[in-house]
Amino acid sequence: MRIVGAGTLDSLVPELSASAASSDAAMFWGGWFFLVNDKGRLVPDLATEIPTTTNGGISADGRTITYHLRKGVLWHDGVPFTADDAIFTWHAIMNPANNVVSRTGWDQIESMSAPDDHTLVVVLKRPYAPAIATFFAPSLAAMPVLPEHLLKDLPDINHAAYNNKPVGTGPFMVASYQPQIGITLVANPHYWRGPPKLKEIDYLIIPDSNTRTIMMRTGEADVYSDAQVNQLPELAAIPRATLHRTPFNEFYYLTFNTTHPPLDDVRVRRALAMAIDKQYIIRNVMHSAADPAVGDQPSYLYTYDPHVPAPVYDPKGAAALFDAAGWTLGADGVRTKNGKPLELVYVFDREANDGERLGAILQQQLRAAGVDLSVKGIAHSIYYADKNAGGILSQGKFDIAYEGWIGGVDPDDIALWACDQRGGFNHSFICDPRIDAAERDALTHYDTATRKAAYQRIQDLLATDMPVDFLWWTRRNDAVAKSVHGYEPAPAVTTFWNSWEWTN
């Protein structure tokens, strides 16, 4: 099977990546305690059952989690998988020498121990509600188990040879990786579920979306994963393919760098949001294949608040706010304050075609409001890179940035908004003690009532602080050849959860 959709990969190892494409690729080779199935539910993988308070997997005080791990699982090189590999991976994630983008959740672990090779005991510093969906599971920042025997002697894993040919426990093994071409994955004959039905998967790196569509039409590709919305009419007309439109926990937004004047003034941030016509953007950028977003909680989760006081398109209200903040309209149509024009830089990932189209519309709409917006496309590998690697987002080298976020099966969103996540995934650099307090409530309680109240509080505070302007919720659009069977896309994190069942 030949898959297109990924433009570039910053790393094959999700621990060292900020790109969803890395998690997608790792679903083939990586080792995970749990997967997210096509119903959006966690299902056991390397763990034999999901720990709960009912089955004794979670202690009464919520601080101890016991995992029972599957016996007879081998790493791709034939070495047995054990609980020690999980312990090693936790230490690697927490090692400050490793360029890990976010340690959210992992930093709540007090200790890990292995009473035997197939039992893992995790002791938390305090109750942590998203623990099961976070540790070695497809979550906010999905991270698979790494092999201790191959990496234990390295001071860090940033430049390990392993990163170009990772060894996992998954249904496919990495045969080769060429950064400008893609990954060749071959069937793992010793996979614990039995050999996968496909002999090979070619995960091809094709930056241009038009080329991907042509490859689907000519039969050079079998799956176009997460297709660009502007390609959908053409993809739908390909006789050999079927379009899967999966409701997905993925939203897009504009990030305001709150450390850059004048964006450190909430009145300016709110005025910018009110000057943007989202409905027009959804029609013209997303071809109406998206729903307006008012917050970061999807409508199907119990944490969703339909009454969030999000800003609406209101040019007159925006003008009044700009005036109140001291930015007055000049004769040339550009607002100024103390002789300085209101000039901002919008950045986007060059591989996201909708980012460029969005930029052109924003430029026009904000110019009507008196804002001079310049548009700058950035290479994917630099845009999302870790701050130590010169990342544009993580280092805050922008005024307004176009971003997307793929949520997990838990409503946890601390990585985006907490003070201690600045420089990680908190690219707005907002720091609101009230948000931090609500995040703590949500993460330290397992009952849904407390968590719902906390997340609805966060949604209200985000609408007040305006660190970002939420744009839309999208669907995951995959074009799949009619010869492909068993492809059952999941609605969260990654669609590639059951590749051992695929046929072509």
CATH topology (fold) of 2-201+483-501: D-Maltodextrin-Binding Protein; domain 2 (3.40.190)
**Percent of the chain at pLDDT exceeding 70:** 99
Check whether 207 has a pLDDT greater than 90. no
Report pLDDT for 96. Answer: 94
Per-residue pLDDT reduced to its tens digit, 280-291: 999 988 887 788
Report pLDDT for 221. Answer: 98
Check whether 218 has a pLDDT greater than 80. yes
Check whether 492 has a pLDDT greater than 90. no
- Report residue 216's pLDDT band, with 50, 70 and 90 as the boundaries: very high
- Report residue 476's pLDDT band, with 50, 70 and 90 as the boundaries: confident
Four-point Cα dihedral 134, 128, 46, 122, nearest 10 = 130
Per-residue pLDDT reduced to its tens digit, 118-175: 999 999 999 999 999 999 998 767 899 999 999 999 999 999 999 999 999 999 999 9
Nearest-angstrom CA–CA distance, 217 and 376 = 32
**Between 302 and 269, where is the model more confident?**
269
CA 468 to chain centre: 16
The full set of domain ranges for the chain reads 2-201+483-501, 249-474
**Percent of the chain at pLDDT exceeding 90:** 78
Report pLDDT for 260. Answer: 96
Class for the domain spanning 249-474: alpha beta
Starting at the earlier edge strand, list the strands of the sheet with 340-341.
Answer: 328-329, 335-337, 340-341
Report pLDDT for 432. Answer: 97
Average pLDDT (315-329) is 98
Residue 274: both structure tokens together:
């009110």
Strands (E), 77-204: 109-116, 119-124, 172-178, 182-187, 200-204
- Report residue 229's pLDDT band, with 50, 70 and 90 as the boundaries: confident
Residue of 477, 480, 350 lying closest to 3 (CA atoms): 480
Kindly report the pTM of this predicted structure.
0.74
Strands (E), 314-386: 328-329, 335-337, 340-341, 343-349, 372-378
